[in-house]
Structure 1
Amino acid sequence: MALAGHDRGGAIRAELVARIDAMDARADRMATGEIADQLEAIRRIAARNGIGAAITVVHALDSALARGERGPLVHGWLGILRDAVGCGSDSPQAADTFAAACAVRLNG
């Protein structure tokens, strides 16, 4: 049974990474609202599947967009989001680690 759950979790993470990669490829041509909509879809999937680190990064990326970050900065944030999805840990400690990394980036 655990293997089936692991396979499902891997498929969900793969779907999220594919969504992030697609956004990253088009981010320079996307309107801020479109990026926000895509991020909301990722946040909902992550929330349904307990991927707290990704939720943390989506919130930070939303704040970055609200501050007017665009272009290469958004690509950097999407890289952090990709790492959060791919880290493989759904622990609160993983979310805390990514929150700290986002705080450094937001305040840096």
Structure 2
Amino acid sequence: MVHLNEVKQELTARIAAIDARSRIARPQEIAPEVDAIRLIAHRNGLNPAVTVAHFLDSALSRGERGALVHDWLIMLGEAVRSERQDLAACDAYAAACSVRLAG
């Protein structure tokens, strides 16, 4: 069985790899990688990361790219590293994402 810290490290590395390409990559190139992160997070109970990944996917669908995606990836990384996995944590991340998406 994989330890949760190992999963968090893997997801953090994946986010960093996406971020390194985010300034030049098209949203449709990044979306499958974000979806893979969402699936891994879901399988491992990293609920705030699942929430942020959903919102990031919506932002990519709207065509956001570059610095905007970088900011989303920062939030996704924070959600991956979050110690809290309860509904209140998900709600807090969802609220922050809603503000960012509407902005």
What range describes the TM-score normalised by the shorter chain of this pair? Answer: over 0.9
Greater mean alpha carbon deviation, residues 49-58 or residues 30-39: 30-39
Greater mean alpha carbon deviation, residues 87-96 or residues 18-27: 87-96
1:30 is aligned to 25
- Once the two structures are superposed, the pairs formed by residues 57-76 of structure 1 within 5 Å of their partners are 57-76=52-71
Structure 2 residue runs without a partner (length 5+): none
Letter in 2 for 1:97: A
Alpha-carbon distance, 1:87 to partner:
1.2
2:38 is aligned to 43
The alignment of Structure 1 onto Structure 2 pairs a total of residues equal to: 103
Rounded Cα–Cα distance in structure 2 between residues aligned with 1:82 and 1:16: 8
What percent identity do the matched residue pairs reach? 50
Rounded Cα–Cα distance in structure 2 between residues aligned with 1:26 and 1:70: 10
Alpha-carbon RMSD across the aligned residues, in angstroms, is 1.4
SS of the residue 2:84 aligns to = coil
Q: Is 2:22 the partner of 1:12?
A: no
Alpha-carbon distance, 1:49 to partner:
0.4
Q: Is 2:91 the partner of 1:96?
A: yes
In 1, are the aligned partners of 2:45 and 2:85 still within 8 Å (CA)? yes
Larger helix proportion of the pair = 1
Rounded Cα–Cα distance in structure 1 between residues aligned with 2:78 and 2:96: 11
Alpha-carbon distance, 1:107 to partner:
1.2
Deviation digits for residues 35-57 of structure 1 (CA, Å, limit 9, x no counterpart): 00100110110010011101111
